[in-house]
Chains A and B, each alone.
Chain A
Amino acid sequence: MLSQQLFNGLVVGATYAIFALGFTVMFGVLGVVNLTYGFYFSFGALIALWLTQALNLPVWASFLIAVLASGLVAALVDSLLLTRLRRARAPELASLMVTLGATLLLYSLSSSLIGVEIRRFPAAAINASAFDLLGLRVSMTQLLIVFAAFAMVGGLVYLIQYTRVGLAIRAMAERPDTIALMGVNAGALARLVSFVSGSLAGAAGVLIGLNYNAIQPFMGEQMMLKGFAVIILGGLGDARGALVAGLIVGMLETLTAGYVASSWKDAVGFALLVLTLWIRPAGLFGRATVKRA
């Protein structure tokens, strides 16, 4: 029973980790707290749902298209709203306010278009079969989630650590104003980073939607709060920390729901956050001094 709970928690934690990873990449590289990030989580889930319902696409195809669509919307929003602010070197509060406004707009638009009731993937689209693995009951959906999470994290690590573009991204994280002197188009690179992190949010949205099979426009709001807890827990801007903290929060939530009460589930992440910050103000993996508070 415990091992089953741990496994279920791992699956949920994997989606939290993807979500937090995208957020931390956006924050760490672009240096902005972009509050629209949570919306791409909702957007991915809604697009995937629509593709499966209206076009009868298989879940994996809906997943891939929804991931790309979320990335594109994120890149578009970033270049519309934040390019000018970056050019003017506006203070962080400006980007916070602009993206807060955009977030409200995006959520109201989507809820007025499709309503706020909870929607579900058609039963036929979800492969309900499950199999036993080392005494664990593993559903095909869980298998998809774990596989997708590994693929996305692996892909991101490869991009950032082993490609030329990744090198430029790491350089931009440190000195966004200097890379133009090397001939790097910083604007295009910022759009690419937004695309990548928006895709991660969208992917997490589809996967959580599949896991709980409950989708509605505001699901990204609650996830955003959780995302904040996770990235602060992991140490702001630290990708490794976001991954580990995401897994921990997902597992603890599932254990709480299983052994205490599911109404306590959502408090876990924040309780953990408070405890960690008491002991290590910079987060689990954060360096002693936080450069950008």
Chain B
Amino acid sequence: MSGAALLEVSGLTLGYGRSDVIKGVDLRIASGAAVTLIGANGAGKTTIMRGLSGLLKPRAGSIVFDGHRIDGLPGHRVARLGVIQSPEGRQVFSNLTIAENLALGAWLLNDAREEARRREGVLARFPRLAERLDQSAGSLSGGEQQMLAIGRALMSNPRLLLLDEPSLGLAPLFIEEIFRIIEDLKREGRTILIVEQNASAALDVADYAYVLQSGVIEIEGPAAQVAADPRVVAAYLGG
């Protein structure tokens, strides 16, 4: 993979209680690349995302973002550097309106005009949200909440966008739309890490792929090559 690394993870070890869930993982994300991390349920994909976002302190290893060591930083400091996550299960604020959810996404921005400009951009991308700005986020369907979660993340104009299971639990039509949007974001030059159970869709959109199994990287390579790997075909692509 070409380009300077925006994110470089080496020997990352993460765990809860007595057990290590992630055992020495290396990842590299080039600036402007779309990278996917696939793996079965329980392989530890979300644990890695929590570690990257500073929600879980690494037990060993380093995470370097744009030249800064970010392992050990609290979550809000990691976000301030531009590493922004749309978490698994959407986690929108269902008691707040859609407009308020988006405003929170721009928490780090103290410029009302720029915030309005970004909101225009997000609403143009997700017209369904534009129609319902003053409704509570709890009134949205799962697919719409996923759009809101991605829109909320985009409000901070992330330098690295982390998408954790963006298609989980969505109707097929919404899955298609979400991946179309990820494709757009990639074309616009955003650097993205997508964690997915839906391996075929993720491999379609990504440049580079990692396969996580029981806390270690089993396979990695250019997405097309990984998609053709017989082990991946057998285990994840239903071949």
The answer to whether B54 touches A180 (Cβ under 8 A) is: yes
The answer to whether B55 touches A177 (Cβ under 8 A) is: yes
Main secondary structure on A side of the interface with B: helix
**A218: min CB distance to chain B, Å:** 38
Residues on the B chain within 8 Å of A173, using CB? 95
The answer to whether B107 touches A178 (Cβ under 8 A) is: no
**A237: min CB distance to chain B, Å:** 12
A118 vs B144: C-alpha distance in the bound complex, in angstroms?
A: 61
Q: Which of B89-103 contact A (CB under 8 A)?
A: 91, 93-96, 100, 103
A169 vs B85: C-alpha distance in the bound complex, in angstroms?
A: 20
A192 vs B93: C-alpha distance in the bound complex, in angstroms?
A: 20
A174 vs B104: C-alpha distance in the bound complex, in angstroms?
A: 13
Smallest Cβ-Cβ distance to A178: which chain B residue:
B91
Residues on the B chain within 8 Å of A186, using CB? 75-76
Q: Which of A184-205 contact B (CB under 8 A)?
A: 184-187
Known contacts A164-B103, A168-B107; is A181 also within 8 Å of B84 by CB?
yes
A110 vs B13: C-alpha distance in the bound complex, in angstroms?
A: 48
A180 vs B79: C-alpha distance in the bound complex, in angstroms?
A: 7
Cβ proximity bits B24-55 to A, threshold 8 Å, 1 near / 0 not:
00000000000000000000000000000111
The answer to whether A180 touches B107 (Cβ under 8 A) is: no
The answer to whether A183 touches B93 (Cβ under 8 A) is: no
> Taking the complex as formed, is B167 at the interface, i.e. its CB lies under 8 A from any CB of chain A?
no
A182 vs B74: C-alpha distance in the bound complex, in angstroms?
A: 12
> Taking the complex as formed, is B191 at the interface, i.e. its CB lies under 8 A from any CB of chain A?
no
The answer to whether B76 touches A184 (Cβ under 8 A) is: yes
| Interface footprint category on A | 10 to 19
The answer to whether A182 touches B105 (Cβ under 8 A) is: yes
Q: Which of B111-144 contact A (CB under 8 A)?
A: none
Cβ proximity bits A140-179 to B, threshold 8 Å, 1 near / 0 not:
0000000000000000000000001001101101110111
Residues on the A chain within 8 Å of B94, using CB? 174
The answer to whether A170 touches B95 (Cβ under 8 A) is: yes
The answer to whether A183 touches B53 (Cβ under 8 A) is: no
Q: Which of A178, A179, A183 has the most CB of B within 10 A?
A: A183
Known contacts A164-B103, A164-B107, A171-B104; is A182 also within 8 Å of B156 by CB?
yes
Residues on the B chain within 8 Å of A164, using CB? 103, 107
The answer to whether A184 touches B107 (Cβ under 8 A) is: yes
Q: Which of A167, A177, A180, A182 has the most CB of B within 10 A?
A: A182
> Taking the complex as formed, is B152 at the interface, i.e. its CB lies under 8 A from any CB of chain A?
yes
**A235: min CB distance to chain B, Å:** 15
Known contacts A180-B75, A183-B156; is A167 also within 8 Å of B105 by CB?
no
* Contact among B75, B96, B103 for A174, CB-based, below 8 A: B96
> Taking the complex as formed, is B185 at the interface, i.e. its CB lies under 8 A from any CB of chain A?
no
The answer to whether B76 touches A171 (Cβ under 8 A) is: no
The answer to whether B107 touches A175 (Cβ under 8 A) is: no
Residues on the B chain within 8 Å of A168, using CB? 104, 107
The answer to whether B103 touches A167 (Cβ under 8 A) is: yes
**A95: min CB distance to chain B, Å:** 21
The answer to whether A182 touches B107 (Cβ under 8 A) is: yes
The answer to whether A171 touches B93 (Cβ under 8 A) is: yes
**A80: min CB distance to chain B, Å:** 18
Known contacts A181-B53, A183-B156; is A175 also within 8 Å of B93 by CB?
yes
The answer to whether A180 touches B156 (Cβ under 8 A) is: no
> Taking the complex as formed, is B80 at the interface, i.e. its CB lies under 8 A from any CB of chain A?
yes
A180 vs B108: C-alpha distance in the bound complex, in angstroms?
A: 11
* Contact among B85, B95, B100, B103 for A181, CB-based, below 8 A: B85
**B144: min CB distance to chain A, Å:** 18
Known contacts A167-B103, A168-B104, A168-B107; is A180 also within 8 Å of B95 by CB?
no
Residues on the B chain within 8 Å of A167, using CB? 96, 100, 103-104
> Taking the complex as formed, is B87 at the interface, i.e. its CB lies under 8 A from any CB of chain A?
yes
A167 vs B95: C-alpha distance in the bound complex, in angstroms?
A: 11
Further pairs besides A171-B100, A182-B156, A183-B107: 7, Cβ < 8 Å: A174-B93, A175-B91, A180-B75, A182-B79, A182-B108, A184-B104, A186-B75
Chain A to chain B: the 6 pairs with minimum beta-carbon distance, closest first = A180-B75, A183-B79, A183-B108, A178-B91, A185-B76, A182-B107
**A-B contacts, 9 listed (Cβ < 8 Å):** A167-B100, A173-B95, A175-B91, A181-B55, A181-B75, A181-B79, A181-B91, A184-B107, A185-B76
Q: Which residues of B come within 8 Å of A, CB atoms?
A: 53-55, 74-76, 79-80, 84-85, 87, 91, 93-96, 100, 103-105, 107-108, 152-153, 156
